[in-house]
């Protein structure tokens, strides 16, 4: 769910089925740029979360994704790695979608400025109104409105496993550009660590036709080598739940 379109028929149908059970229908937004609102519709999801007595993020984890506590487990891992100990003053998130990682990040630190790049207008507006973040104009693979070296923590969760290789790579260059010396970059990708033969078979057979661009694989070493050329070294990595399998969260540090 994120700053790019997720034309994933299997997950859309699963979401529609779950919402249908709760008495809600998916209605495509007419004020959207092909982002998360095509995948997790704003109004229906908000109503369903309220009816379930859950926060939006917990509703998505528990009901839509079937992985209760998945978001919090990633935040806990990042906290244990000391990511929030430096109390980042500026944070940028690519594709926050419903804000489930954004909300939990703000419980760990209190940045003066939190920028988001989100193409789904209803969700972006909700995040601005609810959390006071700054929504930047979003072009799809550029962070142009953000100055060089201005961000302490750049993150993206459940984004790059849904986009093609080159689109993700363009974002990587931008993430390194906007991160200040000594800052951190966090994102997850579906590396070979996550793609053993049994998992590949599951992904290949459970989606059916029209499920060819998701999940998008990304070689781990490619990420490590690319960021090394941009002055960023790998500090840590761990697996996080995603759909029928896992995705790998990578933490980079930019040289001071």
Q: Give per-residue pLDDT as tens, 72-123.
A: 999 999 999 999 998 999 999 999 999 999 999 999 999 999 999 998 999 9
Q: Starting from the edge strand earliest in sequence, which strands make up the sheet with 90-94, in order?
A: 134-135, 113-117, 90-94, 151-156, 179-189, 245-254, 232-242
The answer to whether residues 140 and 3 touch, using CB atoms and an 8 Å cutoff, is yes
Topology (CATH level 3) of domain 70-254: Rossmann fold (3.40.50)
As a whole number of angstroms, the distance between CA 223 and CA 57 comes to 28
Q: Pseudo-torsion of CA 22, 27, 33, 34, nearest 10°?
A: 70
**Considering Cα of 34, then 38, then 40, then 46, what sign does the dihedral take?**
positive
Structure confidence at residue 126 (pLDDT): 95
Structure confidence at residue 244 (pLDDT): 83
Q: Give per-residue pLDDT as tens, 190-242.
A: 999 999 999 999 888 875 555 567 789 999 999 999 999 999 999 999 999 98
Residue 10 in this model has a pLDDT that exceeds 50: no
Domain boundaries, the chain: 9-64, 70-254
Structure confidence at residue 210 (pLDDT): 56
Top-confidence residue, 18 or 99: 99
As a whole number of angstroms, the distance between CA 15 and CA 41 comes to 9
Residue 241: which H helix or E strand, with range? strand 232-242
Weakest-pLDDT range from 2-16, 57-71, 117-131, 157-171: 2-16
As a whole number of angstroms, the distance between CA 123 and CA 144 comes to 21
Three-state secondary structure call for residue 253: strand
* β partners of residue 187: 156, 250
pTM, rounded to two decimals: 0.84
């Amino acid at each position: 769910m994120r700053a790019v379109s997720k034309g994933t028929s299997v997950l859309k149908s699963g979401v529609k089925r779950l919402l249908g059970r709760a008495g809600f229908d998916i209605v495509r937004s007419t004020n959207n740029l092909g982002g998360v609102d095509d995948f997790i519709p704003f109004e229906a999801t908000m109503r369903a979360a309220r009816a379930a007595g859950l926060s939006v993020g917990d509703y998505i984890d528990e009901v839509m994704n079937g992985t209760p506590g998945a978001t919090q487990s990633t935040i806990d891992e990042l906290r244990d790695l000391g990511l929030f100990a430096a109390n980042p003053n500026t944070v940028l998130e690519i594709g926050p979608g419903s804000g489930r990682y954004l909300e939990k990040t703000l419980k760990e630190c209190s940045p003066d400025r939190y920028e988001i790049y989100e193409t789904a207008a209803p969700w972006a507006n909700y995040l601005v109104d609810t959390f006071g973040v700054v929504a930047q104009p979003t072009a799809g693979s550029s962070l142009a409105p953000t100055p060089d070296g201005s961000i302490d923590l750049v993150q993206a969760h459940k984004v790059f496993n849904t986009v093609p290789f080159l689109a993700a790579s363009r974002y990587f260059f931008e993430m390194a550009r906007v991160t200040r010396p000594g800052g951190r970059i966090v994102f997850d990708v579906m590396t070979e660590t996550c793609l053993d033969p049994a998992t590949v078979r599951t992904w290949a057979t459970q989606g059916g036709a029209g499920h060819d661009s998701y999940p998008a694989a990304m070689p781990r070493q490619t990420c490590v080598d690319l960021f090394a050329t941009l002055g960023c070294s790998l500090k840590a990595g761990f697996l996080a739940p995603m759909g029928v399998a896992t995705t790998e969260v990578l933490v980079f540090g930019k040289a001071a």
